[in-house]
Amino acid sequence: MERFAGRQSAAGRWLRMAGIGGLLFISAEPGMAVEDYSDPLVPPVRNPDSETFGVVFFRIPDRLEQIDEEIRRETRVLDGLAPLQVGMQFDSFGYHSDYIPAVGGVPAEPLWTLDFGAGLFPTQAIVLVPALDQRSSDLRGYAFPKRFRIRAIDELGVPGKVHVDWTARDFPDPGLRPVYFSFAEGDAPTEGLRMEVFCGHEEKALEFFALGRVHPIRQGELQKTAVTAVSSGFESAPYWSQDYLASQRYTLGLPLSAKDGAGGNLVLKLPVERLDEPLVVRVDLDETSVLGWVNLFPGRSPSGIDVPGYGFPGTMRIHRVVRRAPGGMESRYLLPDQELLKNPGNNMLRIRGAGVVADALEIECNDFPAYQGQPVFSLGEIEVIRSGGNLSRDRPVLISGFELADESGLRTLVDGKVGGRDILHLPEWLRQLAEGKPHEARLAGLQAEQVMLTERWRRFRGRALAGVTIAGLAGVLGFVLYLLRSRRQAEARLRRQIYSDLHDEVGSNLGSVSLLVGQLAEIARSERMKEGMFDLGLMTREACVSLREVVWMADQRSIRLPALVQKLSERAERVLVGVEFSADIPADCPDVVVSLPVKRHLMMLFKEVVHNCARHARASEAHLQVTVAGPHLRIVFGDNGCGFDASKSTEGWGLGSMKQRAKEMGGELELVSAPGEGTTFTLRLPLSALSKEPSKAYKTSN
């Protein structure tokens, strides 16, 4: 057993089954009759229309509902077929090929050959039973050949017609189920058969294959397999041998139907002391009959616990009983294959009748197993079969060597049931097991698709929920922003309305005051009154201009240099009444944003310059010039007024405040003036300083 090949993983087998579920290589419909089923003799042509395409997401619920219905249908079909109940077996696994280095591709000549002898009648079908990997309780198929063919051979071993050809494509892994090749009546092989294997199972760079059993079907009955030759094999008794291909010890469990009904097993609790004589079970036949096969079915534990071969005797012999004359003496003869009479586990025992006659059958039993110290004898059924007919059904059963209080339980040995399930004819049973293969594959494919689509739908719903949540949050956020924006817009409109009303009301009043002051100045008699009227008129004009600037500022999102320079020019023009004013502003003035503090300093500084010109200069002309030289802004304001001596103290002019503002803005202010020569103010500012916040705010009351 050291070289016993490793089995395929359950996941790998499941994926392969799911794969062939999509292919449905066997053309079997859910309602197909059992007797019409067989595996294809050659691979079917793939139908492109049968390929499964992706399901669009909005059709996933409909497809899942359809899959549920298909799963229920396939499950009903499987439930109506003979259940696959693989029997526990501890030896006689089957045939195992030798190990060879893995061969790439498909060779021209077979790697292994198995020859089977011909029978007296044409071979109607041949059944290949997969070997089982029984190293764990999780039973599975083991190393079924992938590419092979079955052809006729004559008595000299010369190959003839190919009846089964699976060399062009891998044969789908049958798992635990038998492979049932049925031949047409006019094409049934009459000669021997040869199985040629071209590709086996690969593992660890080695190639091999295995088979559990091979069953030919002739005259509607399973016949004994004649293994005449194998090209090579791996012998490891009692596990692997070419002889096990023809063994009558089954590996597929009991041939029972799906229907579960009344009926049970014979279970006898025997005396603890050893029986003096063997326990003998006798079945009388209706008449002298030719024996085909004797089938023994093990019993089952009444507790429901799975005990392989429950109550099966350790020693057993089967005799056929022949009467020499009616009422005369009886002769007893052992049947062949007595070496097979040992615990079969959960399988059926099949003993050849060898075509001899019998009037009754006697089974001697001894060496009974004990459970918790209690010896037990149990059998499920005794069948005497000839050409598919059951000769022992409902025949009288007697027992000797043990007295029964109630012999009615003996009838369970010939009632045609085991554990309440009907016993099936072996070819029919094998066909039903094989027919379950495409439905099982289809079911696995549907379940795999169901898992995939369910996960896909779950992800889609999760993403949809996340999308709806995000959209909802975005909608709420957008609504909040809309409310905030609407509120800001309403506030802005209200501010503009207030500023507009303020400008219209206060500006109109200031204009009226300025006009009135001008009229009063004309009729003033003293110089002191005229001077007072002049100052009052100047303040009203400056207040009116400041009001305009406030309204302008309130309506701007940002203050830019060209607009600010234009406002400086407008201030000078409006405040300097009676003075010829000109401005030289470049058309390409840099469009930079001016910070609010810089704007405030600049406008307040210019306000002081214009105020000094209007109040003190007594000028007839004034000029504003704005230039940009490299990275600097240069603002020059000059008049032709009386001027003054700049070296002397001129506190009334506010020169200290103006220079401080220029410094705060990061620039410098230059004053040029002389008595009788006018005054010129020159402010130089770096363009980069216009948008910056000053390092500290300059506090002034001006």
99 pLDDT above the threshold of 50? yes
Residue of higher predicted confidence among 517 and 299: 299
Q: What residues pair up with 267 in beta bridges, in sequence order?
A: 378
Q: Which among 297, 94, 48, 113 is positioned nearest to 214, based on CA atoms?
A: 94
3-state SS class at 567? helix
pLDDT at residue 251 in the model: 78
Distance CA 616, CA 644 (A): 10
192 pLDDT above the threshold of 80? yes
Q: What is the mean pLDDT of residues 173-180?
A: 93
Q: What is the mean pLDDT of residues 494-510?
A: 62
Secondary structure string (H, E, C) spanning 280-336: EEEEEEEEEEECCEEEEEEECCCCCCCCCCECCCCEEEEEEEEECCCCCCEEEEECC
pLDDT at residue 376 in the model: 92
User: Per-residue confidence at 556, pLDDT binned at 50, 70, 90?
Assistant: low
pTM here? 0.65
Q: What is the mean pLDDT of residues 483-487?
A: 89
- The domain locations on the chain are 10-254+428-454, 256-423, 574-702
687 pLDDT above the threshold of 60? yes
476 pLDDT above the threshold of 50? yes
Secondary structure string (H, E, C) spanning 608-637: HHHHHHHHHHCCCEEEEEEEEECCEEEEEE
CB 147 within 8 A of CB 43: no
505 pLDDT above the threshold of 90? no
Q: What is the mean pLDDT of residues 525-535?
A: 67
519 pLDDT above the threshold of 70? no
477 pLDDT above the threshold of 80? yes
What phi, psi does 100 have (nearest 5°)?
A: -130, 155
Domain covering 256-423: architecture = Sandwich (2.60)
CB-side neighbour CA atoms (13 Å) of 402: 26
139 pLDDT above the threshold of 90? no
Q: What is the mean pLDDT of residues 135-139?
A: 72
Q: State pLDDT tens for residues 304-314.
A: 788 888 999 99
> Cα(first)–Cα(last) distance of the chain, in Å?
109
Q: What is the mean pLDDT of residues 534-551?
A: 71
pLDDT at residue 55 in the model: 83
DSSP-derived letter for residue 505 is I
497 pLDDT above the threshold of 90? no
Q: Which two tokens stand for residue 524?
A: 């003033």
Q: What is the mean pLDDT of residues 645-671?
A: 80
Q: State pLDDT tens for residues 242-272.
A: 999 988 777 788 899 987 776 678 999 888 7
Q: What is the mean pLDDT of residues 406-426?
A: 87
429 pLDDT above the threshold of 70? yes
454 pLDDT above the threshold of 80? yes
157 pLDDT above the threshold of 60? yes
% the chain with pLDDT above 70: 82
pLDDT at residue 514 in the model: 61
The count of other CB atoms within 10 Å of the CB of residue 250 is: 26
Distance CA 384, CA 398 (A): 16
504 pLDDT above the threshold of 80? no
The residue type of 16 is R
Q: Which range, of 109-113, 248-252, 383-387, 430-434, averages the lowest pLDDT? A: 248-252
pLDDT at residue 521 in the model: 61
pLDDT at residue 130 in the model: 94
Q: What is the mean pLDDT of residues 51-57?
A: 67
pLDDT at residue 646 in the model: 76
Distance CA 170, CA 199 (A): 8
434 pLDDT above the threshold of 90? yes
Residue of higher predicted confidence among 197 and 238: 197
Does the domain at residues 574-702 carry the CATH identifier 3.40.190.10? no
702 pLDDT above the threshold of 70? no
pLDDT at residue 41 in the model: 94
Q: What is the mean pLDDT of residues 70-90?
A: 87
Q: What is the mean pLDDT of residues 125-149?
A: 88
Q: Which range, of 298-302, 372-376, 690-694, averages the lowest pLDDT? A: 690-694
The residue type of 122 is P
User: Per-residue confidence at 683, pLDDT binned at 50, 70, 90?
Assistant: very high
Distance CA 435, CA 124 (A): 17
571 pLDDT above the threshold of 70? yes
For the chain, what's the residue count? 702
User: Per-residue confidence at 232, pLDDT binned at 50, 70, 90?
Assistant: very high
pLDDT at residue 575 in the model: 82
Residue of higher predicted confidence among 651 and 213: 213
Q: Which range, of 66-75, 128-137, 641-650, 682-691, averages the lowest pLDDT? A: 641-650
Largest CA distance in the chain: 178
Residue of higher predicted confidence among 671 and 32: 671
Q: Which range, of 210-219, 446-455, 573-582, averages the lowest pLDDT? A: 573-582
Q: What is the mean pLDDT of residues 367-371?
A: 90
User: Per-residue confidence at 26, pLDDT binned at 50, 70, 90?
Assistant: very low
